Structures are given as C-alpha cells and as structure tokens.
Amino acid sequence: MSSPARVLAVLGLFSRERPVWHADEMNEALGYARATGYRYVRELVEAGFLRKVSAGRYALGARIIELDYQLRQSDPVLLAAAPVMDALAARSKLDVVLSTMFGTGKIVDIHRVSSDSSLVLQYGRGRPRPLFQGAAPKVILASLPRAALLRIYEIHAQEIAQRGLGHDWAAFRTHMTTIRQRGMYVSAGELDAGVGAAAMPVLDGEGEVVASLALVSTTQRIETAGEVRLRGWLEKAVGAVHEKLV
C-alpha cells in the first residue's frame, strides 16, 4: 500500500464493536513497525481524525464529524436526490433510502426519508451494509462495469456462492446481468425480517452508477404496492435525479 493508504488503514480499524484501540494494538493488527505506526497515529491526532482517550488509547476524532457535515451540505448526489426523495415519499407513502458504494464493495445508506415512524431498519446512514443482501446493493452491483464486478467477485467468491448468487464468475455475472436488464430489484426479508424494498440504480451524466434509490416498507406494503406502481414511482424519481446530475 502507498503511505496515504497505510495511514487510512488505521482509521479502518475502528468500528462500533471496537471503538477504542491502543497504538500497539493498531501496529500489531496492521503489521506496522512501532515507530511507523506511532507516527501515523500522531499525524491522525494532529489532523483531528483521532483523539486520545487515555494513555496510548485512541478513538475517532471530531474532524470526521466536520467532514460528515460538509458532505451533507455539498454532496452532488445527495443534493440532487433529497428533494426528489421528499416528493417520492409523499407520493408513495413508503420510506425512501439513498445508498452508495465506495472502495471495493462497501455499501452505505446516505439519506433516508421516512413515511412510517414505526419502521425500524438496522442499517442507517454510514453503517456499512452486507454487500450481497437487499435490493440496493444488488442494483448497484449489477450496474458496475465488468472489470469492477470481476474484482468484487474475486474478493468475495465464497460469500457469493453461499448467498446463491453464482458458484463461479460466469454464473454470478449472468445473475447480475439479469438484474441490470430488469432495471429494478425487489427484495423481501433479505436484510431485515418483515421488511421489503424495491430499488433502481442512479446513474450520473456519464452513465456510471453513483447510487441506488429504494422504496422500503414492510413486505406486505411492498407487495400491495405491486411491481408496476413501484417501477413507475422509481423510474420517475431516478430520472429526475439523473437530470440534475447531467
């Protein structure tokens, strides 16, 4: 890895399950020399990405909160989608969720407009979602270029087979091609029990997938809405977002 990637790998250690790390533990986990690892930690503290909580122990810093605020105010995809999502939620009476992918297969929700306050979703803004479960990840994956999809397959081949998405690359690619050709994927209970979703990819001005837009509710309400209405609502909304990104 390059030096910037090695520094950022330190931030990648922190999680909900492990929010605090000792500097020596970071070095051991990443295989860094003590002097190198301590230098990275010092630089991250100085930049505000880490903060010291006790002797040698660190947590994520406030700079990340600042960046999240800036992202909410300036992300072109979010700015284009937010008013469209408000209108879609009001029209459909369903929750609307915007999701995106980064790296080699991290899926996160970046915005949600709720129509049903009783609907509880275990994954919210910023919490990485399973890559091969649910409507949003599948329409994003299905819209990736061949090379990007192949790289994800090579990394996750075993999980892909376990999820029934293909026992080899050819089968997986065929599965994704089918989803892409349909243009919409409807899930039922894949991520949260009793919760269903219908999603479509959001494309930028160059035709590359930048996000997915999903209608989410109980499986019963998704089934009641029906694929024809779900497709109509989503096509109009995705088209409106796309026009703002061109």
> pLDDT tens digits for 196-223?
999 999 999 899 999 999 999 999 999 9
Q: Is the pLDDT of residue 1 over 70?
A: no
Q: Is the pLDDT of residue 87 over 70?
A: yes
pLDDT band at residue 122 using 50, 70 and 90 as cut-offs: confident
Note the pLDDT of residue 30: 96
Note the pLDDT of residue 133: 94
> Of 43-47, 106-110, 118-122, where does mean pLDDT reach its minimum?
118-122
Domains and CATH numbers, the chain: 3-65 (1.10.10.10), 75-245 (3.30.450.40)
Burial (Cβ within 10 Å: 0-12, 13-18, ≥19) of residue 151: middle
